Copies of this chain bind each other. A is one copy, B any other.
Amino acid sequence: MTNALVTFPIKEQFRQSLSEQFPQIHFDFANTIEDAGGKEVTILVTYGSDLTEEILDQLTDLKWVMVASAGVDKMPLEKLGERGILVTNVSGIHKTPMAESVLAHILSLNRALPIIQAQQKQKVWEKMKSSELRGSKALILGPGAIGGEIGRLLQAFGVYTIGCSRSGGVHNGMDEDISFAHIQEYLPEADYIISVLPSTQETRWILERSHFQLMKKSAVFMNFGRGDLVKEQVIVEALQQGEIAHAVLDVFQQEPLPLESPLWEMENCTVSPHVSALSAKYVERALEIFNENLQVWLSDNKEFKNVIETERGY
């Protein structure tokens, strides 16, 4: 019998339904990998951060890691690759809450919601400046599943979308596609620069001060990917120097964001505590993808969804 260890926390109803649906598999539910003891685990379902190299060495029967998040950058990918272990994630399920979060922040700034709320606290009835999203331009770094959903929604609002990827290939939800090599030419035209890039060797620290100096003074920079896209100090200086109008950050170089970070107190920075992918439907959707892949596992067909290429990192 195949042993599956689930350290991804799920409710009793979901545990029961997994066990009933897949009687060929023995499920173990534990809070940590250590709790599970010396089980001969073949399948591991995890948020990802508990799988260290050391633990991986102990799990000699491991054949498949299903990561119940999108980011796999904290995992021992090299070793997983060497051992030929299948790694899958749930990246698709993030696209709805993340794209809704990005649009929420953009529209809120455009339609002056923070000012409306501040005025309400003071019982002030006054008109304020507000702008329209229609007719603006967005540069989306990482036009994959999540970026494409952001692009699709922005297009519905009449925004011109430019996808920026390594290859510059054609992506859904984009009016135009460019490669990273051409980003400097496009930065001066963009009203929104939105990153949903994963953390890989190629994306680490790729945005530098010179990029911010090319942006419009009215531009909004949004990082919803990973905090190692750009040094915190670069963002702080760009905001302090007025090189851009606003930053909305859901990810940070160090998380939780340290109390001494100047970003907390900057009026032109929104600090979001890595919550853009949260959704009341998260577990349900993650398990749907696990279920589908588990059926593939049990069948002869080996066409898994959301397979991570361990060398590439996404």
Contact = CB atoms under 8 A, between A and B. Distances in A.
A222 to B, nearest CB: 13
Nearest to A107: B104
Nearest to A272: B116
Contacts of A130: 97, 101, 275, 278-280
A107 to B, nearest CB: 4
A273 interface: yes
Chain A's interface size range is: 35 or more
Interface in A246-276: 255-257, 259, 264, 270-276
B119 A111 contact: no
Nearest to A124: B273
Contact of A108 (B96, B113, B123): B113
A127 to B, nearest CB: 6
B108 A108 contact: yes
Contacts of A112: 275
B111 A101 contact: yes
A110 interface: yes
Identical subunits present: 2
A116 B270 CA distance: 8
A150 to B, nearest CB: 12
Interface stretch (A4-12, A24-32, A45-53, A152-160): A152-160
B280 A96 contact: no
A116 B156 CA distance: 26
Instruction: Give the interface centre of A101, A126, A129 by most chain B CB atoms within 10 Å.
Output: A101
B278 A125 contact: no
Contact of A103 (B103, B116, B152, B274): B103
B117 A110 contact: no
Contacts of A117: 114, 117, 270
A225 to B, nearest CB: 17
A119 B259 CA distance: 12
